Structure 1
């Protein structure tokens, strides 16, 4: 309901009319026009009505479906920090190395500390930025409590890690990645679990479904992973490499790790070997999957990356998916042209006229002009050594500019 309709229903039309009259009376003051809405009755009235119709925070609030985190008391954290600072300051050798610029910092230890403290919270913010939770879980989200390390094997011993939405090409992701996480840890306390644990790993692409824009393409499904040993899990869907078509830009590959209460029977998601490349059989919805098993599953880990088209996908479409490779192009709208003017001021004559001509004819003329100055064996003429030193006389200004651009090798003539 608009603001004016709300005023009509509130019986406040007279007050607004009086406020508008007051604004009109004070629109000019001492010869100056007041810019913007001046403070007065109308503004306070509008604010008061909007405050009475705010959205209910309990309705629009997002739901945290992940594990909570048990933290130490503030005093215990402060005590550990002070003890660490005291030990660092009392280390004379550490001070000498720092002063002589010989102190070597263990970056692996820094990374472990970052992941243990604020790394997973930062991952949640990055995932929100990329719309991961919105497109997978709707209005829900979770803070990853179990660090998920995923890396693709490249040539030699080099690896391509999956890190907070980085770009990995389809050539690099052709084979199943290496998955590593601590499956013997309790996501709530961060301590070692006292019994066997079971996990489920799902990799999907929310941007890859061809026929249903709200569905996802299932790329990998491993259930009942015992104690974090991915190789011993139940593979329900074999790994399918990403296949972003040409022209669609970047797509997101998302890995979600769930912690199970116990072993689950997820045989209904089993994909037959004959349907490995059947994209319709790989239709998946993370939200529906979680709603159906939310009593037995809780999301605990997250990782994702971006990928776009490369040359290796042409053969992948023909050999694996058995379909013709799709190619998408953006259909740009035609530029808006105003009616022609008899005297187009401050516009080059030739450029203004070419806007209203057939673009193919213009391209043909430029190509013919370029071929006329190109020798069939020796190639084009050599450029002038000092292009601006040669005067241009007895030509109109628009043509003088065109000749100068051609000599300098700039302008649209270089596009042909």
Structure 2
């Protein structure tokens, strides 16, 4: 992908805005980043699950042997608006040999909290003009992984030039919970949306043009309805043979007894076809 197209994709995902503020750059150095024993690539916004990115990735890019580089992986999501969380940093990389660099911050897997949705994890490759001493930053990152790309670059812009960019998105999986339990020894945060109660008009004695059973169910406890359907299902289920209901190729070809109310006839047809509420509960 050309630098112009890479920049356009990054702008679409809000990468520059949330890392560099009003500034941007053209990613002229293409990085090949591979997770999970080089089977899961990182492009620009593709999905990588936390379990797949549990171990440090392999990173390759073109470089002259004498060049020096700094590689930083952060996420601007899941924290306050002005702070990122750093997941990996390697500095003073000689040529394209990432293993030759100084690991300022050890790699940790993505940690998108349950309920937050998709978080962005961004790799930025900086070209160094000279060898840089990051000892102060390394000490700071020992106590906290909070990071600001904008402040980091503003302080070192005379000796650093952003040249490469790649990023992926990730959402919660069970490995995040395992990491919190086994490594951090704490419970992971869980975010849930507090849905407002659905509004229904005041119940009337004679609702017009509405199936009365569905109208009444609207004002019943949904757990009570679920229990009713569960009992109905269990009556027709054998613990060893499973579903005992007969299977007909044309269920509604079987006549419904005369005199059956219209609302009940409709319910019978839906149950036979496995539609509407029958599809959820039966």
Query: TM over 0.5: same fold?
Result: yes
1:148 aligns with 2:42: no
Shift of 1:339: 2.5
Shift of 1:376: 5.1
Q: Which residue of 1 aligns with 2:154?
A: 291
Distance 2:81 2:263 in 1: 51
Q: Which residue of 2 aligns with 1:63?
A: none
Contact 1:271 1:281 in 2 (8 A): no
Distance 1:242 1:332 in 2: 28
Contact 1:170 1:312 in 2 (8 A): yes
Q: Which residue of 2 aligns with 1:325?
A: 188
Q: Which residue of 2 aligns with 1:239?
A: 107
Of 272, 278, 282, which residue of structure 2 is paired with 1:413? 278
Q: Which residue of 1 aligns with 2:68?
A: 198
Distance 2:139 2:109 in 1: 16
Deviations 1:260-305 (A, max 9, x none): 22222221111589x5xxxx61011111212222222221110001
Distance 1:375 1:198 in 2: 70
Greater strand proportion: 2
Q: Which residue of 2 aligns with 1:139?
A: 22
Shift of 1:384: 4.5
Higher relative contact order (CA 8 A, sep 6+): 2
Distance 2:87 2:116 in 1: 19
Q: Which residue of 2 aligns with 1:308?
A: 171
Q: Which residue of 1 aligns with 2:246?
A: 383
Of 135, 140, 157, which residue of structure 2 is paired with 1:267? 135
1:182 aligns with 2:182: no
Q: Which has the larger radius of gyration?
A: 1
Q: Which stretch has the larger CA shift, 333-342 or 166-175?
A: 333-342
Q: Which residue of 2 aligns with 1:161?
A: 41
Unpaired segments of 5 or more residues in structure 2? none
* Equivalent residues in 2 for 1:16-165, closer than 5 Å: 115=1, 119-154=2-37, 159-165=39-45
Of 262, 270, 275, which residue of structure 2 is paired with 1:397? 262
**Secondary structure class of the residue paired with 2:200:** coil
1:253 aligns with 2:133: no
Deviations 1:118-160 (A, max 9, x none): x222111111111111111122211111111211243xxx522
Distance 1:258 1:264 in 2: 12
Distance 1:138 1:325 in 2: 30
What's the RMSD between the two structures over aligned residues? 2.3
Distance 1:384 1:177 in 2: 52
Residue-pair matches, total? 279
Shift of 1:356: 1.4
Shift of 1:374: 3.3
Distance 2:14 2:240 in 1: 57
1:217 aligns with 2:85: yes
Greater helix proportion: 1
TM-score (norm 1): 0.62
Q: Which residue of 2 aligns with 1:15?
A: none
Q: Which stretch has the larger CA shift, 323-332 or 160-169?
A: 323-332
TM-score (norm 2): 0.89
**Secondary structure class of the residue paired with 1:302:** strand
Distance 2:196 2:269 in 1: 32
Deviations 1:301-337 (A, max 9, x none): 1000112222333322122222213333333222221
Contact 1:183 1:229 in 2 (8 A): no
* Equivalent residues in 2 for 1:358-373, closer than 5 Å: 358-373=221-236
Contact 1:148 1:179 in 2 (8 A): yes
Shift of 1:201: 0.9
